[in-house]
């Protein structure tokens, strides 16, 4: 649910940075989950109206529910435009769910949907998940 739908004011830049830090904090001990969270943040797939972005009602802390992200991949394949997701962003969500929770992804179908920017971000996330966060692509 969006901030305006909840009846709250939009987040200040400092509050938004705190929210992103909380999302990252939940994945600090797992390279693959951290890479998935970073990928979702880099592509803007962490808006509070996304069903996989949750705020605890008691503590107010934010987290990514990758079970919901995995469920959303199947549902959004049909209605991704309703959520403002391009085929490229839907592919990013699939890769992130795969990195975090092992969702089976058929690269042959996912990769051609990625635009140039998202391809670079997915490659960086895969390198981070493999424990090589500073890997550079080979130069031709």
Average pLDDT over residues 79-83: 72
Whether residue 65 contacts residue 101, with contact meaning beta carbons closer than 8 Å, is answered with no
Residues across the chain: 140
3 state SS of 7: coil
Confidence at residue 99, expressed as pLDDT on a 0 to 100 scale: 94
pTM for this prediction: 0.80
Confidence at residue 138, expressed as pLDDT on a 0 to 100 scale: 64
Chain segment 24-48, per-residue pLDDT in tens:
987 877 889 999 999 999 999 999 8
Longest pairwise C-alpha distance within the chain: 53
């Amino acid at each position: 649910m969006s901030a305006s739908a909840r009846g709250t004011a939009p987040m200040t830049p400092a509050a938004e940075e705190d929210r992103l830090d909380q999302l990252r904090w939940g994945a600090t001990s797992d390279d693959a989950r951290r890479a998935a969270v970073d990928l979702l943040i880099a592509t803007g797939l962490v808006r509070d109206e996304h069903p996989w972005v949750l705020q605890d009602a008691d503590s107010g802390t934010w987290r990514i529910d990758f079970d919901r992200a995995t469920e959303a991949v199947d549902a959004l394949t049909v209605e991704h435009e309703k959520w403002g997701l391009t085929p490229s962003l839907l592919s990013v969500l699939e890769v992130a769910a795969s990195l975090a929770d092992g969702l089976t992804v058929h690269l042959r179908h996912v990769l051609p949907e990625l635009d140039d920017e998202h391809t670079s971000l997915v490659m960086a996330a895969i390198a981070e998940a493999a424990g090589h966060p500073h890997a550079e692509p080979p130069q031709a």
